[in-house]
Amino acid sequence: MFDFRPEPGQPKAETLRQLCDAADALTAGEPDSIANMANVAALLWEFLPGLNWAGFYRMVDGELVLGPFVGRPACIRIPLGKGVCGTAASTGASQLVADVHAFPGHIACDSASQSELVVPVLRDGAVIAVIDLDSPEKARFDAEDQSGIEQLAALLSERI
């Protein structure tokens, strides 16, 4: 039985480090990418407060397709360049959005979402997936969150 939980009241940097350590422990040696994404989605939900959606979109035949997640039902397919996820996938760059309603072309899968962080997972320079975090709080995510999730994406690049 796994019991990965952040310690209450610790600095955000330590929580993000523990998140990466837990993801490393759960995915090391497991070849199934869906199983690994499912466990990491659960970890994201457990470790990061203030979320209403946490999970993955996978790159399949030139578009993003819904992967394992925690939260309300979501958009199944997202074209490259559309919305926050499609922009992250088409540019290969993280998207830190304080107010999704101000983001041109935002796709509202859950009307409760106010802010979003999307980090591409790259393998050999190509986007293979994105990690998508949504929050009902405006400006929920900051540069420290982005850095921590980018480290997680790098860890997962050969495991999903």
Residue 8 has pLDDT above 90, yes or no: no
Domains of the chain in start order, with CATH, are: 12-156 (3.30.450.40)
Question: Which pLDDT score is estimated for 2?
Answer: 67
Question: Which pLDDT score is estimated for 9?
Answer: 87
Who wins on pLDDT, 4 or 40?
Answer: 40
Question: Which pLDDT score is estimated for 116?
Answer: 97
Question: Which pLDDT score is estimated for 46?
Answer: 95
- 126 exposure class (CB count in 10 Å sphere: 0-12, 13-18, 19+): exposed
Question: In whole angstroms, what is the distance from residue 11 CA to residue 98 CA?
Answer: 21
Mean pLDDT, all residues of the chain: 94
For the beta carbon of residue 146, count every other beta carbon within 10 angstroms.
Answer: 17
Who wins on pLDDT, 2 or 140?
Answer: 140
Residue 5's pLDDT band (boundaries 50, 70, 90)? confident
Question: In whole angstroms, what is the distance from residue 119 CA to residue 114 CA?
Answer: 17
Q: Are strands 126-135 and 77-79 parallel, antiparallel or unpaired?
A: unpaired
Who wins on pLDDT, 153 or 110?
Answer: 153
How far, CA to CA in Å, does 137 sit from each of 26, 76, 88, 103, 147? 29, 23, 21, 15, 19
Residue 109 has pLDDT above 90, yes or no: no
Question: Which pLDDT score is estimated for 57?
Answer: 98
Closest CA to 17 of 27, 6, 8: 6
Who wins on pLDDT, 145 or 5?
Answer: 145
| No. of helices (H) and no. of strands (E), the chain | 4, 6
Residue 77 has pLDDT above 80, yes or no: yes
Question: Which pLDDT score is estimated for 142?
Answer: 98
119, 96 in Cβ contact below 8 A?
no
Residue 1 has pLDDT above 70, yes or no: no
